[in-house]
Amino acid sequence: MPLSENTALRLAGNAFGTIILGFGINALIRPDHALTFFEWTPPTVTADRQLVNSLMYVYGVRDIYMGLSVYVASIFGTPKSLGWTLLAFSAVAFADGAICWSWEHGKWGHWSYAPIVALIGTALSGLLD
């Protein structure tokens, strides 16, 4: 059986889809808490706080979209489509980590799981068959 057809990899991809979906819901419900994933503190000035909360809502919707995309690719697509969806997901995590790195904190909260998602995505995409 090719590695890309491994059921455990598909389940692992779905697990990461669930995690990112949870991050998105958290950002919508608790934007201040979601900032802790970046190791940032909420601003104290009301106008700044409203702006940051609005940006966290955008971040939350993005994460919900990514989680649902993983589910759709897993349920209705092929292992290859799930793999490439996970590779795109890992690219977002790497980018989020790079943004945190530019602020000098919070990068490892993203860079710790991005390579795992990339490896699962690579395996499911068929590149390692």
Q: What is the pLDDT of residues 17-73, one digit of tens each?
A: 999 999 999 999 999 999 988 888 899 999 999 999 999 999 999 999 999 999 999
Q: Could you count the other beta carbons within 10 Å of the beta carbon of residue 50? A: 11
Domain count, the chain: 1
pLDDT of 114 = 95
Q: Quote the mean pLDDT of the chain.
A: 95
Size of the chain in residues: 129
Separation between Cα atoms, residue 31 and residue 1, nearest integer Å: 44
- Report, as an integer, the average pLDDT of 111-126: 96
More confident residue, 125 or 39: 125
Residue 110 has pLDDT above 90, yes or no: no
Please, are residues 79 and 70 in contact by the beta-carbon 8 Å criterion? no
- Report, as an integer, the average pLDDT of 91-113: 91
Which residues span the domain enclosing 40? 3-125
Segment (H or E) for 11: helix 7-29
Instruction: Report which residue type is found at 28.
Output: L
The share of the chain scoring above pLDDT 70, in percent, equals 100
Residue 128 has pLDDT above 90, yes or no: yes
Residue 116 has pLDDT above 90, yes or no: yes
